[in-house]
Structure 1
Amino acid sequence: MASKAKQAEAKVPIIKGKEAEDMVLDYIRRMNRPFGAVDVSANLKGAVPKAATQKIMVALAEKGDLVQKTYGKTTFFVVNQANLEDMPSEKLAALEAEVKRIDEENKSLGAEVKSTGAQLARLKSTPTDKELVVEVKKAADAVQKARSHLDPLRAGTPLISQEESAQLDADCTRWRNEWVRRRKIFNTFWSLATDALTPQQATELGEDLGIELDTPEHGTLERGVLCAAGSVLGKRRR
């Protein structure tokens, strides 16, 4: 019951007669564009029924207030442009000035929006307080770890004896030479074994046999200072 009562209250009262005619004409004048009876009645919230709106618009066209246009089976009505008042030059100038002012305001607001957007992007890319606390702690831990590594050096503690250093140099030279020798032997035999194969077949054979070649890291190590002639660890330190 309450719902029906609300619907009854919300229902627009029907307008008839001269008042309805004035309402239709005023609406079409204000909009100043072509309309059909269905559109006008709907835009007036049904205050003037569709059938009555059609009759009113036809009558207004007969009186010259509207101009009736027919496109196929559809009829449109538009306000008679000859009956519209010419806009005074002063009012036209004022409107142009207002349009210019609004255009300048739009440009200013657009620049402000762009600047605000850039500030927002910077704020979003800036770490939060919680993230800064985490980063500061990581940095402090890294500094503490680095300092702990420097403490023995600052105290003058020998980290390795000369005998141990010489032994490391000797081991490095020995195993590097062994590495180079074994690689040379392998390359010689592998070249003989795959001489009749295409590179792709040789690669597939190596994969089937589980042969592991030097990785790019090995090449980097061999070209580095540790493997350069006359740059073993002991010699660099002396």
Structure 2
Amino acid sequence: MAKKKPNTSSEEEQAVLNYLRKVNRPYSSTDIFNNLHAKYPKAAVAKSLEKLVSQSLIVSKVYGKSAVYAPKQTEEAATADDLESLDTDLQSLTEKVDKLKAENKQLSQAVSQLQSTPTTENAQTDLERILQENEAFQERLRNLQQGKSRISDKDHAAITAEMDKCRNEWRKRRRMFQDMFKTVTEHMPGDPNELKEDMGIEDDVVPFDQDPLAL
């Protein structure tokens, strides 16, 4: 008695089986879903494929992270050419999946960049702020070109007082060093300047009695 072939139990399973038998080549679940023009839900197509595999009506092979499905052949064993063709198709499908993943990554990056772009309202606010800053810089530049004071009289007085304080301190320290060095080297043989050079002491380029800030 001939063995009774299992029957498909749904329209989706029959449509998937008929499609695979018609094209007679391996496809992924997503490709089958797309090639059937999304007539059936994606989950239903995937479920139908698994059931057809369990019924031995089609075969499944995992290549990398992708599973592909093909109609079961009537021959007892596939030829070397068939296997090579199948591997070629699998490689092509894998490359297609990798390409789609790369495109999806680029799309996600583009979406993220678009989301980080300021809105029209924010851009208008930033523009107004930049224009105001630019006007302030322009006004400062005009004042500088006309020789106008860049600081207030109060700030100018405070800076002048600080400068005088530092200048007096500088003079005091120079005088202390000159006196100490003169005392130490007064009775030493040789040139005191050679001693300075040996000790790495450098004199100020400005003469001691001259104001270093004088023009």
One fold, TM greater than 0.5?
no
Q: Which structure would you say has the larger Rg?
A: 1
Q: TM-score, normalised by structure 2?
A: 0.36
Q: Which has the higher contact order (CA 8 A, sep 6+)?
A: 2
Q: Quick check: which one's helix share is greater?
A: 1
